[in-house]
Structure 1
């Protein structure tokens, strides 16, 4: 039973949505963020990456960074850049990338659903990243970036949402600088809201697709507020966090590729022989980079040439939801035993390249500062759901979702 809850969103004025909406804070560094905002005083990066309005030398975890984020939210509200909905609502949010649409429901999710594993996870989180977002939420008093959730497709939920879209004018409709179209509708009809709430009560589980750190931080702030308010009822806003919930059949996961700095003391010939223990290696004769066409195949770029790797049967365990993941196979049978990458979360010799950057980026990295690259077949959404249902944790950088949800379109006030 999943809880969805309407809320009085703080959101951009209709004329400013395209200027306010920003990519998530964690897909760019401070220097890139400063460049993005220099001609846009409305960008929500002034809140999510508020160091852009402070000296470049400032520590990202300085209290002034969080205070500036709060100051900028207040300023946006006072000057009308952001407005608060008069009534509680749910929202529909459609993103279209390369002709492919995906439509989610913007609502509040319950911190109790998170604690009770109705909202399921598949990643470990890092304490320092959690601490940063805890302070950001606590000081600003807002959830500023929605958690990307998914659920196993339910025909009736999709029907209700699609019917509403057809019969109502959108609140926002714009094309972002990356070519992705963002369209949103406000559901203010109480009957439709109640119908959607009842439909989601029949959904057994929600799954975090992206945003584990934001989710964990939002829940932690909620628990902190409960500690300060011993007589809480459960109806207070801090008991809920901002989310967008998409049906599983509409999501696309891109490849998440790997580059490694050296061959762990081997020369190319020794390395290739070690790889052949668990993989069949074939020189790729096609044009351009090799993109794996099915599970358990990998591309490898070494010494200016692409190779196709195929996992041998003795290392494939399709009955195990974790061991059948390609990123797990590569980690357990090549990155760790051959290249010495024991913990890819902390090892500085490995880096990860999202599929949105293209496979040519792997070649560029090898020619610039790395030695070998691996192209991956994308993890499937059902793999993610199976791992989550089993209570397992996926290897780091297993999934790259596109398009990215924009921050700043919907904010949740904790009070």
Structure 2
């Protein structure tokens, strides 16, 4: 019985919203970030990069307080305005390849602590505390956690009902995305939405484990000082609308093995077929693509091993680690070993091939995407996926709707 609540969102005015919202901060390279800061005074990146105003890089608590100042300036200038009524926000995004609609709401930190909001990734305490301190100093959160739930026709019907009306905001951005927002302020409709979510047994974190953990830490620290600390902003979407992509792996060396020795070790657990220049992509789980020495290979897990798999080993990223990365290539820590790097599905196998051909890496592995069912089974069993097991879309823009504490 998860609890969600409406809140008074802070949003950019209609004439500036397309200029204000930005991609996730980490998405920008140095040159693009500099151009955005130089030529777009309305960008939310101006708030997130307060040192730009002083022509210097600022870090730590000094940065957090300046982020707060830039945010208040945007409100004072009228670029950002708080809504008069608490609302749930129906949000639709259409890009050239996909579309999705979800509900932006406040979700309970108590539900997070009580495991009504289930996790599938470990978090790092250092990152949790850093973001907790940031939220406390800045006083707002501009990037929601992505939560998913089992498809429920009653929720779909309520969303469809709202979408029959004209959106409050409708705009397009230069990345060919169309955005629509419908604030839901009608008390009866709000009550219906809350009731339908209480009928669910749990929610699942799809993306945003550290943001959830940091919000929970902040709630515990602030106690009963303010009700808003007991909730964090989330985008809730039905699991059928999630798009999960794979993270491919590239390794810098063969751990002292030559090519033939390496292939012989792989043969113990996999049926290997040389695909030559064919750009082989795995078509189902437990099949892997490998690029080595100018050629693609398909690796099929031997059928006899399928009966022995644990729920965690059913995940291809874990299987790859248990059978190849650790015992053969000597990679123990997937988070810290400098010999391994990751590229998500957006970059495709061609990106992996190019990096190996340039001799930046010796071998690359392409994986089949993890499914929603696998993600949920790991969370239900209170297990944790290996790092970089999923690249999940949608990715909500920063600054679209802001949750104030």
Structure 1 Cα separation of the partners of residues 294 and 38 of structure 2:
39
Q: Which moved more, 1:39-48 or 1:369-378?
A: 39-48
Query: In the alignment, which residue of structure 2 is the partner of 1:283?
Result: 274
Query: In the alignment, which residue of structure 2 is the partner of 1:174?
Result: 171
CA contact (8 A) 2:108 2:232 kept: yes
Report how many residues are paired. 404
Offset from partner CA, 1:255-280 (integer Å, 9 cap, x none): 11111111111122211111111111
Structure 2 Cα separation of the partners of residues 258 and 180 of structure 1:
29
Query: In the alignment, which residue of structure 2 is the partner of 1:121?
Result: 119
CA contact (8 A) 1:91 1:105 kept: yes
Query: In the alignment, which residue of structure 1 is the partner of 2:7?
Result: 7
Query: In the alignment, which residue of structure 2 is the partner of 1:310?
Result: 300
The answer to whether 1:140 aligns with 2:138 is yes
Structure 2 Cα separation of the partners of residues 286 and 267 of structure 1:
21
Aligned ranges for residues 203-222 of structure 1 at < 5 Å? 203-222=200-219
CA contact (8 A) 2:277 2:294 kept: no
Query: In the alignment, which residue of structure 1 is the partner of 2:23?
Result: 23
User: Runs of 5+ in structure 1 lacking a partner?
Assistant: none
The answer to whether 1:189 aligns with 2:186 is yes
Structure 2 SS opposite 1:284: strand
Structure 2 SS opposite 1:149: strand
Q: Aligned in 2, Cα 1:268/1:174: closer, same or farther, shift over 3 Å?
A: farther
1:102 CA displacement: 1.3
Query: In the alignment, which residue of structure 2 is the partner of 1:400?
Result: 391
Which one of 336, 339, 343 corresponds to residue 353 of structure 1?
Answer: 343
Structure 1 Cα separation of the partners of residues 32 and 321 of structure 2:
31
Structure 2 Cα separation of the partners of residues 205 and 54 of structure 1:
46
Offset from partner CA, 1:327-366 (integer Å, 9 cap, x none): 1111110111111111101111111101112221111222
Structure 1 SS opposite 2:93: strand
Structure 1 Cα separation of the partners of residues 67 and 26 of structure 2:
15
User: Runs of 5+ in structure 2 lacking a partner?
Assistant: none
Query: In the alignment, which residue of structure 2 is the partner of 1:198?
Result: 195
Q: Aligned in 2, Cα 1:383/1:48: closer, same or farther, shift over 3 Å?
A: farther
Offset from partner CA, 1:205-251 (integer Å, 9 cap, x none): 0110001111111111111111xx5xx5xx71111111000001111
Q: Aligned in 2, Cα 1:390/1:158: closer, same or farther, shift over 3 Å?
A: same
Which one of 54, 70, 91 corresponds to residue 93 of structure 1?
Answer: 91
Query: In the alignment, which residue of structure 1 is the partner of 2:222?
Result: 225
Q: Which moved more, 1:405-414 or 1:364-373?
A: 364-373
Q: Aligned in 2, Cα 1:303/1:137: closer, same or farther, shift over 3 Å?
A: same
Q: Which moved more, 1:92-101 or 1:293-302?
A: 92-101
CA contact (8 A) 2:151 2:240 kept: yes
Offset from partner CA, 1:184-215 (integer Å, 9 cap, x none): 21111111111000000111101100011111
Structure 1 Cα separation of the partners of residues 132 and 52 of structure 2:
20
Query: In the alignment, which residue of structure 2 is the partner of 1:251?
Result: 242
Structure 1 SS opposite 2:147: strand
The answer to whether 1:261 aligns with 2:252 is yes
Q: Aligned in 2, Cα 1:318/1:37: closer, same or farther, shift over 3 Å?
A: farther
Q: Which moved more, 1:103-112 or 1:357-366?
A: 357-366
Q: What is the RMSD computed on CA atoms of the aligned residues? A: 1.9
1:25 CA displacement: 2.5
Aligned ranges for residues 318-329 of structure 1 at < 5 Å? 320-329=310-319
Q: Which moved more, 1:98-107 or 1:168-177?
A: 168-177
Structure 1 SS opposite 2:39: coil
Structure 2 Cα separation of the partners of residues 175 and 371 of structure 1:
42
| TM norm structure 1 | 0.92
Structure 1 Cα separation of the partners of residues 50 and 331 of structure 2:
35
CA contact (8 A) 2:277 2:295 kept: no
CA contact (8 A) 1:2 1:113 kept: yes
